[in-house]
């Protein structure tokens, strides 16, 4: 099944002239890859998309200026999720899993689709994050009943375990200098989750946000700030920003909606994120917002689920 899906991706897609509206692309995406093509933006956004009536996820790319998303994968038997750009923008790492939920592992492909390569030793892993120097990938991986943070070269070796805790560690993100990772630590007993930071040279772990928080999906900017999603006292998930030392926390979004999975723009001025998704009947769309909370813009409008966006560096 996986081999057949890989063969289906063998021919890369081409980026060409401008195309039609996002809603039309959404309808095409539900039935198969979009055939429309669009002008390749300098810094595209890659994301996962699925239709609630056919919940198999594929990867798409879209210009920050909007327009029709371009399908990068089309795999009817497996789902492709959690994309992460390489720092040179030439490849995308992502997670692939089967219809039964079994995680096949982390793969990479060209930024326009095709040339698939599996990362050995990543079966069961998730949430890949490409290092700033382009040589390594960090990810979360199960160890017994917990998930821990690992880092490996792009070829999968050597895989080094960084965390050893009774909690679950999720969603690593690199500091701009590649010397640290931030990630979410979830307490399976209380259900709380806080942000942590680990120094790779010493494996020293330092809390970034407070215990008792509900903090998820951090993303570290080139400007040395960390954006994340927090379920706060309103009961909704909102975007927040914090410095790596835990200071200067402030809220970016405040709507009565669930905002998650922020990703910084290359210049550190804006964020792309997912809004919506209380259940499968509630579509999820990509939005853009300035880091100060102004200039909120809806990027995708199709009646689908658009998730886990990553903005090309």
Least-confidence region, from 46-55, 86-95, 135-144, 278-287:
278-287
Distance (Å, whole) CA 248 – CA 225: 10
Reading the block at residue 200, the tokens are 């790779």
**Beta pairing, strands 215-220 & 226-231:** antiparallel
Task: Supply the pTM of this predicted model.
Answer: 0.86
Mean pLDDT of 136-154: 96
CB 62 within 8 A of CB 299: yes
Distance in Å from the first CA to the final CA of the chain? 33
Instruction: Write down the number of H helices and E strands in the chain.
Output: 2, 24
Report yes or no: 59 and 73 within 8 Å, Cβ to Cβ.
Answer: yes
Please compute Rg for the chain using Cα positions: 18
Higher pLDDT, 280 or 46: 46
Cα 234 to the center of its chain, rounded Å: 25
- Residue 8 main-chain phi, psi, to 5 deg: -65, -20
Judged against a pLDDT cut of 80, whether residue 157 lies above it is answered with: yes
Enter the tokens of residue 217. Answer: 């999906």
- What confidence score (pLDDT) does residue 282 get? 87
pLDDT digits (tens, 9 = 90+) for 161-200: 999 999 999 999 999 999 999 999 999 889 999 999 999 9
Average pLDDT of span 206-210: 98
Size (the chain), residues: 313
Tell whether omega for the bond before 305 is within 30 degrees of 0, i.e. cis.
no
Residue 278 has pLDDT above 90, yes or no: no
What percent of the chain clears pLDDT 90, i.e. is strictly above it?
A: 78
Q: Return the pLDDT at 41.
A: 59
pLDDT digits (tens, 9 = 90+) for 64-90: 999 999 999 998 889 999 999 999 999
Query: At 199, which helix (H) or strand (E)?
Result: strand 193-199
Residue 42 CA to residue 121 CA, distance in Å, equals 33
d(CA 8, CA 182): 35
**Regarding predicted confidence, which is higher, 132 or 55?**
132
Q: What is the pLDDT of residue 270?
A: 98
Question: Is 38's pLDDT higher than 80?
Answer: no
């Amino acid at each position: 099944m996986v081999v057949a899906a890989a063969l289906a991706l063998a021919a890369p897609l081409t980026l060409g002239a401008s195309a039609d509206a996002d809603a039309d692309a959404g309808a095409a995406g539900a039935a198969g890859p979009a055939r429309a093509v669009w002008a390749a933006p300098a810094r595209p956004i890659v994301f996962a998309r699925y239709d609630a009536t056919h919940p198999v996820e594929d990867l798409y790319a879209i210009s920050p200026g909007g327009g029709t998303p371009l399908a990068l994968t089309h795999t009817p038997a497996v789902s492709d999720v959690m994309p992460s750009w390489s720092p040179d923008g030439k490849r995308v790492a992502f997670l692939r899993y089967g219809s039964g939920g079994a995680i096949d592992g982390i793969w990479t492909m060209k930024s326009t689709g095709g040339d698939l390569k599996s990362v050995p030793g990543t079966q069961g892993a998730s949430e890949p994050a490409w290092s700033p120097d382009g040589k390594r990938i960090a990810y979360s991986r199960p160890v017994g009943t917990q998930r821990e943070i690992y880092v490996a070269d792009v070829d999968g070796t050597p895989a080094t375990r960084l965390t050893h805790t009774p909690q679950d560690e999720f969603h690593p993100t690199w500091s701009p200098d590649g010397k640290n990772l931030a990630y979410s630590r979830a307490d399976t007993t209380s259900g709380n989750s806080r942000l942590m930071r680990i120094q790779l040279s010493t494996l020293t772990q330092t809390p970034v946000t407070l215990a008792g928080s509900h903090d998820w999906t951090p993303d570290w900017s080139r400007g040395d700030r960390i954006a994340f999603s927090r379920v706060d006292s309103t009961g909704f998930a909102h975007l927040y920003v914090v410095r790596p030392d835990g200071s200067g926390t402030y809220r970016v979004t405040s709507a009565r909606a669930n905002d998650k999975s922020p990703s910084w723009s290359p210049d550190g001025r804006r964020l792309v994120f997912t809004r919506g998704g209380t259940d499968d009947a509630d579509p999820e769309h990509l939005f853009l917002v300035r880091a100060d909370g102004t200039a909120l813009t809806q990027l995708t409008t199709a009646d689908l689920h658009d998730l886990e966006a990553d903005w090309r560096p």
